[in-house]
């Protein structure tokens, strides 16, 4: 008999996170959608995730509290889909270092003490690697390194732009950049550069979530770094 599949999703309230929660529930996985306890939209997230069939978890972003909660829940899958933006970091006194790296690293350490070890899925970004430059890419490189050296089974996803008509947060710059890039890539694709097109083109949250959950549930897919083209062509 296969053991019950249980997922804990950090960053569940994000554009990608909420679709990952939906895809997990649709795949029959018992799903805990994490919402920060001081969220101003806690009640509406409770309703939204409850309607999907997921449980809401409001554990504080504190290492002791998070470790204790994960020991209780014993998830078999853990998703880290967290990240701040320039706009938000001013309002919240946060940074790529404290959120994109810091909260992901906290979660990795909390997950590392579990036995059996859960499979850890980290949503990183195109461009991350040892030669990455800039605070955003460097924070994500550090998070990737922390995961690789943690001993946890992992998947690291490096998508290009994640955007779509269904994105409710206004990110006009990002949307326009993705549209321009997708337009140029269509030309590249027509000229025979299909692989280049797949590598850099944008994805929407639903498509990305489908790939992340499918790969997470596939026991043969482990300790891999997934490039944008592998994510956009998943299931094709």
Ligand X SMILES: NC(=O)c1ccc[n+]([C@@H]2O[C@H](COP(=O)([O-])OP(=O)(O)OC[C@H]3O[C@@H](n4cnc5c(N)ncnc54)[C@H](OP(=O)(O)O)[C@@H]3O)[C@@H](O)[C@H]2O)c1
Binding site for ligand X (CB under 6 A): 11, 13-17, 36, 39, 61, 81-84, 88, 92, 94, 99-100, 103, 123, 125, 159, 161-163, 174
Continuous segment of H or E residues that includes residue 230: helix 228-232
Minimum distance of ligand X from residue 1's CB (angstroms): 34
Minimum distance of ligand X from residue 222's CB (angstroms): 21
Minimum distance of ligand X from residue 116's CB (angstroms): 27
Q: CB-wise, 37 or 151, nearer to ligand X?
A: 37
Record the tokens describing residue 60, joined without a space: 């504080």
Minimum distance of ligand X from residue 137's CB (angstroms): 10
Beta carbons within 10 angstroms of residue 138's beta carbon: 16
Continuous segment of H or E residues that includes residue 7: strand 6-10
Contact 197, 186 (CB under 8 A): yes
Task: Give the residue closest to ligand X by C-beta.
Answer: 83
**E strands along 84-144, which residues?**
119-123
Contact 137, 125 (CB under 8 A): yes
Minimum distance of ligand X from residue 192's CB (angstroms): 26
Q: CB-wise, 59 or 76, nearer to ligand X?
A: 59
Residue bearing tokens 């070890």: 117
Query: How many whole angstroms separate alpha carbon 99 and alpha carbon 106?
Result: 10
Q: CB-wise, 100 or 198, nearer to ligand X?
A: 100
Continuous segment of H or E residues that includes residue 9: strand 6-10
Query: How many whole angstroms separate alpha carbon 136 and alpha carbon 170?
Result: 20
Query: How many whole angstroms separate alpha carbon 29 and alpha carbon 8?
Result: 10
Q: CB-wise, 181 or 191, nearer to ligand X?
A: 181
Minimum distance of ligand X from residue 77's CB (angstroms): 17
Minimum distance of ligand X from residue 214's CB (angstroms): 18
Which of 137, 6, 131, 130 has its CA nearest to residue 78? 6
Q: CB-wise, 81 or 211, nearer to ligand X?
A: 81
Q: CB-wise, 1 or 51, nearer to ligand X?
A: 51
Q: CB-wise, 26 or 174, nearer to ligand X?
A: 174
């Amino acid at each position: 008999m296969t053991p019950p599949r249980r997922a804990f999703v950090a960053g569940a309230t994000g554009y990608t996170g909420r679709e990952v929660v939906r895809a997990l529930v649709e795949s029959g996985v018992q799903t805990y959608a994490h919402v920060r306890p001081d969220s101003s939209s806690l009640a509406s997230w409770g309703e939204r995730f409850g309607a999907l069939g997921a449980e809401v978890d409001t554990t504080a972003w504190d290492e002791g509290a998070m470790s204790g909660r994960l020991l209780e829940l014993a998830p078999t899958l853990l998703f880290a889909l967290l990240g701040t933006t320039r706009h938000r970091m001013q309002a919240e006194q946060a940074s790529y270092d404290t959120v994109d790296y810091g909260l992901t690293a906290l979660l990795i350490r909390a997950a590392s003490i579990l036995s059996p070890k859960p499979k850890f899925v980290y949503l990183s970004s195109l461009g991350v690697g040892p030669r990455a430059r800039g605070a955003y890419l460097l924070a994500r490189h550090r998070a990737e390194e922390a995961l690789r050296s943690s001993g946890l089974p992992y998947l690291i996803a490096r998508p290009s732009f994640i955007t779509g008509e269904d994105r409710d947060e206004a990110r006009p710059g990002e949307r326009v950049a993705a549209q321009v890039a997708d337009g140029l890539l269509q030309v590249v694709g027509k000229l025979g550069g299909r692989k280049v097109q797949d590598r850099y083109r944008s994805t929407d949250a639903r498509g990305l979530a489908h790939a992340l959950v499918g790969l997470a549930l596939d026991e043969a897919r482990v300790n891999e770094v997934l490039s944008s083209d592998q994510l956009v062509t998943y299931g094709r």
